[in-house]
Structure 1
Amino acid sequence: MSSRRNFIQMVSAPLLAMPFISQAESTAESLTSVEDGPILKVALLGLGGYANIVAKAMQNCKRAKITALISGTPSKLDQWGEKYNVPKTHRFSYEELNKIKNNPDIDAVYIMTPNLRHPEFAIQVANLGKHVISEKPMATNVKDAQRMIDACKKAGVKLLVGYRMHFEPNTLEIIKKREAGEFGKILFFQGLSGFIIGDPKQWRLNKQLAGGGSMMDIGIYSINGARYMTGEEPIWVTAQETKTDFEKFKEGVDETIQFQMGFPSGAVASCLSTYALNNLDKFYLNGTKGFAEMMPSTGYGPIKAKTNKGELSYPHITHQTTQMDEFAAILHDGKVPKIPVDGEEGLKDMKIIEAIFEAVKTGKKVALK
């Protein structure tokens, strides 16, 4: 997988119009189509690198619009406000978050801060009566993830997690084929997720802010992918950690973890999460009748996929554009996505991550309840 910086540069480049085969376009639309309806009015909270990608992608949304900005950096509020035509009355510091209450121009708040702060902001936003969108991982531990879910339920608002791949057409087509039995009995899944991390002082290498290292950032893709590609929930995990740079990857910040998962059907998964190797972005699903392979599998695209019957050729649409339009349909229309994107989905991944950390620490197989 390319580095996060390369991804940002790629997505920031001008989008080129592409001629698509009509049949492929029609099929892709059937998998990810969003009906016309009310616009989802979104406040972006935490104006960092990923928020920049989301903001640019939202310029092409049919049903989602940036209507407010929330940041701890005044200069960013000014710059982003001018860039995305958000008036000064709708630019807020973190200390001014309470001002969004009863604001008719805000339906939901998309939280894109370091992982540690997701729960505190999610709970505050929920208590202000706004829907919560949290970037993944939704928290740094299971306890805080559950607190987020409970707060949103109590406030009567919805909690969504930024699982953009859950709307990606190649991914959905492979799941459709698996459900139709085209691959037979699923036996094995492989997930490789990694890149060489850059700046050693960034928050993703801070145990307190990130909750870990590569697993919280990139390994979660293989965990989540194993679940939706096999269609099962794991019942056990084993894991082994490798660390070569003890200065960059301090205590509690994982550099590389190999982990395995077992499923009720007998299928097994073998996965790798790393901050020390590039060109790792691959899913492979194997069954008694066929296989599916995705490489790249979770990068910002285009996603490349094939099965034993040939390549898939769905047109690439910026993932965050599709995600935000789908979120509008979920929040305004009650649409039920093929793969869940709610807080319970995020909680399942958090439980698996904690089990993997336990397996690394103890060297034992850890059962999942």
Structure 2
Amino acid sequence: MDSRRNFLQKLGLSALAINLAPVTGWAKNKPVISDKPYDGPVLRVAMVGIGTYGNIVARALQASTKAKLVGVVSGTPSKVKDWQTKYGIPDKNVYNYDNFEDIKNNPDIDAIYFTVPNFLHQPYVLRGAKTGKFIISEKPLGRNAKEAQEIVDGCKKAGVKLLVGYRMHFEPKNLEIIAMRNAGDFGKIKYFTGNGGFRIGDPTQWRLDREKAGGGSMMDIGIYAVNGARYMVGEDPIWVTAQEPPKSDPVKFKEGVDETIMFQMGFPSGAVASCLSTYAMNNVDRFLLIGERGYAELNPANGYGPLKGRTNKGDLKAVSPPMQQTIQMDEMAGIFLEGKSPIVPVDGEEAVKDAKIIDAVYEAVKTGKKIPLKLS
């Protein structure tokens, strides 16, 4: 906990500039784009799971300079054909869910990115680790902290590097706020609020299935507030409390599938966070960080589109990218291939901490007690 906090506090605007590649400089909080074409190593990626989010990542890779889509794993041949046509994927780089471990014999693939439903993360990532390729898994890493830790341990045992799809850790406005906090612009941090949610639709989708999702809104949207509180405040929490109001539709939101949860976290410095995760409301997407001398706000805070933000000093200057996942993939390529260190960690240990907090939130809802946390 302390080492993570110290690491973040050592960073300032200069570090922010370095970690905004592919831009090559930062002048007066505005990106400086180089005309020099990128000629370094390129991360060659195979996607596992080509549903809604897999398609978003695939489109983002088209704009990436340091990573490119070269392979696909799917159980739906018709979708695979579409992807091959759209992205120029050769037959030799096409796999299904039964044989994708054969990727270990394919020298044209460097990394495997898993965008499958939550319940498949643990078994599929552990299979992927056996290939010896770099691994990227979407969050949450597992349906609980036990699964997340098993994934981390399995990747370590296989000797493969694991990253988790924390796109907001590379998003320029988030990084600008972190840099300002590190520079002392807000003074001692006192309070954070992180709200996220939307009105969920199709009642038959896997996100509303306890066994497949691991829960409800907390596993899908609440994780943004959990993780955002940690990197915005710059500390790991030491306790959590939580409440769950009555469900509006107990048929749609069955036992173990949370519709709305309010939760609070306390930090070693005395800062507190008050957060909301919901499948029942739109227009709640907001982060607010308050210090003794200033504040920072993102509204919206978690969406795929351009984020908007301001501080007590005015509007945030960092330019939101057309697709956050493009910067994410460029930066992950740098981590894998060049040994770069991100401002905010995106490794498996980071994901295990979030999973432990979510487990504690569910325990707090069930027991009504303040749950102590030990994340390191």
Give the TM-score normalised by the residue count of structure 1: 0.91
SS at match of 1:228: helix
Q: Please list the CA deviations of residues 114-164 of structure 1 after superposition, one character each: whole Å capped at 9, or x if unmatched.
A: 001011111111111111100011110111111111111111110000000
CA RMSD for the aligned pairs?
Answer: 1.6
Correspondence list, 1:240-319, <5 A: 240-242=243-245, 243-317=247-321, 318-319=323-324
Please name the residue that 2:370 is paired with.
365
What's the CA shift for 1:312? 1.0
Preserved contact between residue 134 and residue 160 of structure 1 (Cα < 8 Å): yes
Distance in 1, Cα, partners of 2:84 & 2:143: 30
Q: How many pairs align? A: 345
Paired letter, 2:336: L
- Aligned to 1:67, the other structure's residue is in SS state strand
Instruction: Determine if contact 1:138/1:346 at 8 Å carries over to the other structure.
Output: yes
Map 1:158-177 onto structure 2 (within 5 A).
Answer: 158-177=161-180
Is it true that 1:115 corresponds to 2:118 in the alignment?
Answer: yes
Distance 2:284 2:160 in 1: 37
Structure 1 unaligned regions, length at least 5: 1-20
Deviation at 1:298, TM superposition (A): 1.4
1:147 pairs, out of 146, 150, 159, with 150
How far is 1:22 from its partner? 7.6
2:333 is the alignment partner of 1:328: yes
Structure 1 residues 68-83: aligned runs within 5 Å: 68-83=71-86
Q: CA deviation at 1:80?
A: 1.1
Check whether the contact 1:131–1:157 (CA below 8 A) recurs between aligned residues: yes
Work out whether residues 306 and 312 of structure 1, in 8 Å CA contact, stay in contact via their aligned partners in 2: yes
Q: Could you say which residue in structure 1 is the equivalent of 2:231? A: 228
Q: Does residue 219 of structure 1 match 2:239? A: no
- Structure 2 vs 1, CA of residues 23 and 181 (structure 1 numbering), >3 Å: closer, same or farther? closer
Q: CA deviation at 1:98?
A: 2.2
Equivalent pair of 1:35/1:329 in contact (CA under 8 Å): no
8 Å CA contact 2:185–2:294 kept in 1: the answer is yes
Matched AA of 2:356: K
Deviation (angstroms), 1:194: 0.5
Identity of aligned residues (%): 60
Identify which of 59, 78, 97 aligns with 2:100: 97
Question: Residue 343 of structure 1 is aligned with which of 336, 345, 348?
Answer: 348
Measured at CA, do residues 35 and 163 of structure 1 come closer, stay the same or move farther in structure 2, by a change above 3 Å? farther
Q: 8 Å contact 1:241–1:258 — kept in the other structure?
A: yes
Instruction: Name the amino acid aligned to 2:190.
Output: L
1:189 shift after superposition: 0.3
What is the TM-score when the length of structure 2 is the normalising length?
0.89
What secondary structure, in the 3-state scheme, does the structure 2 residue paired with 1:101 have?
Answer: helix
Q: CA deviation at 1:23?
A: 4.9
Q: Does 1:55 align with 2:97?
A: no
Report if aligned partners of 1:195, 1:274 keep a CA contact under 8 Å in 2: yes
Q: Secondary structure at the match of 2:31?
A: helix
**1:292–1:305 CA contact under 8 A, matched in 2:** yes
Residues 57-115 of structure 1: per-residue CA shift (max 9 Å, x gap): 11000011111100111211111111111012211110011221121111110000000
Q: Deviations over 1:277-299 (max 9, x none)?
A: 00111000011101001101111
Quote the residue 1:38 is aligned against. Answer: 41
Distance 1:176 1:144 in 2: 33
Map of 1:205 onto structure 2: 208
Amino acid of the residue matched to residue 304 of structure 2? Y
AA in 1 matched with 2:346: V
User: Residues of 2 paired with 1:100 and 1:168: CA distance?
Assistant: 31
Show CA shifts across 1:165-197 (max 9, x none). 000111101111111111111110000101000
1:182-201 map, 5 Å: 182-201=185-204
Deviation at 1:316, TM superposition (A): 2.3
Q: Structure 2: which amino acid aligns with 1:67?
A: V
State the AA in 2 paired with 1:229: M
CA distance in 2, matches of 1:327, 1:189: 28
Deviant stretches of 4+, over 6 Å = none
Secondary structure of the residue that 1:109 maps to in structure 2? strand
Cα deviation for residue 315 of structure 1 reads: 2.1
| Aligned equivalents of 2:31, 2:144: Cα separation in 1 | 41
2 CA distance for matches of 1:323 and 1:90?
23
